[in-house]
């Protein structure tokens, strides 16, 4: 076992070098639920922001995850190979950290077995999950339906019990209540909670070790338990990556967002990505003093002296294949435009998701010419933007639509539904891209044809304007906004503490 606390990461700046952005002096953490294999915009933005903090301000961000997957070493290795994690950045998972670190004798918390039952699974009981070192990572007990999880026991590499998470302490066999017991290095009960969130917060305290910390909370799942993480030496900042509004009930806050939006004051700062979303939130909730706008950033592509050959009839979609993204709209609009276009049209789709089978069937029935090509999830999908003419975005909702900036930075013209939030904040219709009424496939096809029929000089002007727009969201410009907001939030917190 290693020592129970991790030392802060060293600054990347050479001796005597001065950072371009002045951040508050603290340890920096990005708090998210997990890193999916085929991750999308939120995780990409989190990683990009962390790299910018390091490159421009000398602040190494430690990324914290809480999901129980036994292969985080492989996940980290893959991220480093692809340049998503810089050498000074660290990816730290709750369960992996607890497996590898002894519990300090002076750790906070208490053990109350009379209130939190401790009933670890017997060897051979439950479904086993194995870690990378061939040790048992966890055992899971299911309800009679074979799907409902009633208990998960976690183990250290040496086979001792790490933790027991009991989800049916009230009535065995039925979900109800919670008993989470953490064990010491000998597998004996040491601390207990009536909620898994108690363990999460306990771990954060151990990890930080009392150091001043800035916690950037990205996922809405993590935001719910971080609401209760109020520490004098920790600044909690929640970044809202998606729309807060329901798709089915106009003007109503999503049920998954209600707990957080009813308690926004529980964070020191809440960041949204567009002014329109801030306005909408305050029209519903009244003035929110800790609410601010910081867009995502995208480092502009430098226009090479010999640009890659751009196919003027080629479109791209980069999105998860989910109902939210409505990629079938992009397919039908492209097929419709292709029938009336004077030049060949094609569409490359990069992504995976629940709608893959229905999209394949749509193409089987209506795309005998092979106009649309499905590529699945590709980590290098964005490099194709420099070779394509236009990007289609057909989502029901977004928070910012990072892919629009990436497209514009590459000189690829965005054609997007005018949805909340993002497209109208970035696209000036007819100047650097095209906005289309949400859900209007006919208008979407017409916008594709409009671009195809424009004179080369007009198209070149569109591409230049798109690049200029993207340049306004450079890493340096947006990272300066972040540093200013964090300095201001820390000043306000310290002032409030001084008055207590």
Matching residue, tokens 């708090």: 31
**H helix runs in 182-326, sequence order:** 196-208, 220-226, 255-261, 275-285
Q: Lowest-confidence range among 19-33, 127-141, 199-213?
A: 127-141
Joined together, the tokens standing for residue 48 give 């990009």
CB atoms < 10 A from the CB of 182, how many?
24
- Do the beta carbons of residue 408 and residue 384 sit within 8 Å? no
- Give the 3-state DSSP-derived string for 55-75, with helices as H, strands as E and coil as C: HHHCCCEEEEECCCCCCHHHH
CATH number for the domain running over 311-471: 3.40.50.2000
CATH architecture of 27-101+200-293: 3-Layer(aba) Sandwich (3.40)
Give the residue range(s) of CATH 3.40.50.2000 domains in the chain.
Answer: 27-101+200-293, 311-471
For residues 124 and 355, give the distance between their C-alpha atoms in angstroms, rounded to a whole number: 38
Cis peptide before 421 (omega within 30 of 0): yes
What are the distances in angstroms from CA 170 to CA 28, 148, 178, 474, 489?
39, 16, 8, 53, 42
pLDDT at 14: 45
pLDDT at 304: 52
For residues 320 and 353, give the distance between their C-alpha atoms in angstroms, rounded to a whole number: 6
What DSSP state is assigned to residue 449? H
**Phi and psi of 101, rounded to 5°?**
-130, 135
**H helix runs in 84-192, sequence order:** 94-100
Find the angle CA(29)-CA(403)-CA(478) to the nearest 5 degrees: 45
User: How large is the average pLDDT for residues 392-415?
Assistant: 93
Going by their DSSP bridges, the two strands 234-239 and 269-272 should be labelled as parallel
Matching residue, tokens 């051979």: 124
Torsion on CA atoms 352, 334, 242, 478, rounded to nearest 10: 100
Sheet containing strand 90-93, edge to edge, reads 90-93, 61-65, 27-31, 213-217, 234-239, 269-272, 291-293
Q: What is the pTM of this model?
A: 0.88
User: How large is the average pLDDT for residues 334-358?
Assistant: 96
Strand (E) or helix (H) holding 490: helix 475-498
Range ranked top by mean pLDDT from 105-114, 132-141, 335-344? 335-344
pLDDT at 173: 94
pLDDT digits (tens, 9 = 90+) for 444-472: 999 999 999 999 999 999 999 999 999 99
Q: Is 115 left (phi over 0), alpha (psi -120 to 50) or beta?
A: alpha
Q: What share of the chain is helix, strand, coil (3-state, %, to 5)?
A: 35, 20, 45
pLDDT value at 432 more than 90: yes
pLDDT value at 40 more than 80: no
For residues 481 and 61, give the distance between their C-alpha atoms in angstroms, rounded to a whole number: 17
């Amino acid at each position: 076992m290693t020592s129970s606390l991790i030392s802060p990461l060293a600054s990347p700046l050479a001796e005597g070098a001065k950072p371009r952005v002045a951040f508050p002096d603290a340890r920096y953490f990005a708090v998210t639920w997990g890193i999916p294999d085929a991750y999308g915009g939120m995780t990409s933005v989190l990683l990009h922001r962390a790299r910018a903090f390091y490159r421009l301000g000398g602040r190494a961000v430690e990324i914290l995850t809480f999901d129980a997957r036994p292969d985080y070493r492989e996940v980290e290795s893959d991220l480093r190979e692809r340049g998503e994690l810089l050498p000074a950045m660290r990816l730290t998972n709750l369960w992996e950290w607890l497996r590898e670190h002894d519990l300090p004798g002076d750790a906070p918390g208490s053990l109350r077995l009379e209130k939190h039952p401790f009933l670890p699974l017997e060897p051979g009981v439950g479904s086993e999950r194995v870690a990378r070192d061939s040790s048992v990572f966890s055992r899971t007990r299911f309800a009679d339906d074979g799907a409902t999880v009633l208990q998960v026991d976690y183990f250290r590499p040496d086979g001792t019990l790490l933790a027991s998470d009991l989800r049916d302490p009230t009535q065995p066999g039925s979900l109800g209540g919670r008993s989470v017991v953490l064990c010491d290095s000998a597998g004996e009960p040491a601390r207990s909670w009536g909620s898994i969130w108690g363990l999460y917060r306990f771990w954060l305290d151990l990890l930080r070790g009392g150091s001043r910390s800035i916690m950037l909370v990205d996922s809405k799942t993590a935001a719910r338990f971080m609401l209760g993480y109020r520490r004098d030496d920790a600044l909690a900042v929640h970044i809202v990556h998606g729309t807060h509004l329901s798709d089915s009930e106009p003007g109503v806050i999503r049920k998954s967002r209600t707990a957080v939006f009813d308690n926004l004051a529980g964070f020191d700062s809440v960041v949204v990505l567009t002014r329109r979303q801030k306005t909408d939130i305050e029209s519903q909730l009244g003035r929110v003093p800790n609410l601010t706008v910081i867009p995502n950033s995208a480092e502009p592509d430098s226009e090479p002296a010999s640009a890659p050959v751009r196919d003027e009839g080629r479109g791209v979609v980069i999105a998860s294949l989910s109902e939210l993204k409505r990629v079938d709209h992009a397919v039908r609009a492209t097929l419709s435009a292709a029938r009336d276009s004077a030049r060949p049209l094609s569409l490359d789709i990069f992504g995976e998701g629940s709608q893959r089978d229905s999209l394949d069937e749509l193409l089987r029935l209506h795309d005998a010419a092979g106009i649309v090509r499905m590529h699945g999830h590709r980590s290098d999908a964005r490099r194709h933007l420099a070779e394509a003419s236009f990007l289609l975005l057909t989502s029901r909702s977004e928070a910012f639509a990072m892919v629009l900036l990436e497209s514009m930075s590459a000189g690829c013209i965005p054609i997007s539904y005018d949805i909340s939030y993002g497209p109208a904040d970035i696209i000036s219709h007819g100047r650097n891209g095209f906005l289309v009424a949400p859900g209007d496939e006919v208008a979407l096809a017409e916008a594709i044809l409009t671009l195809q029929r424009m004179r080369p000089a007009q198209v070149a002007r569109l591409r230049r304007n798109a690049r200029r727009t993207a340049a306004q969201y450079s890493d340096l410009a947006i990272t300066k906004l972040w540093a200013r907001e964090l300095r201001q939030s820390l000043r306000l917190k310290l002032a409030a503490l001084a008055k207590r």
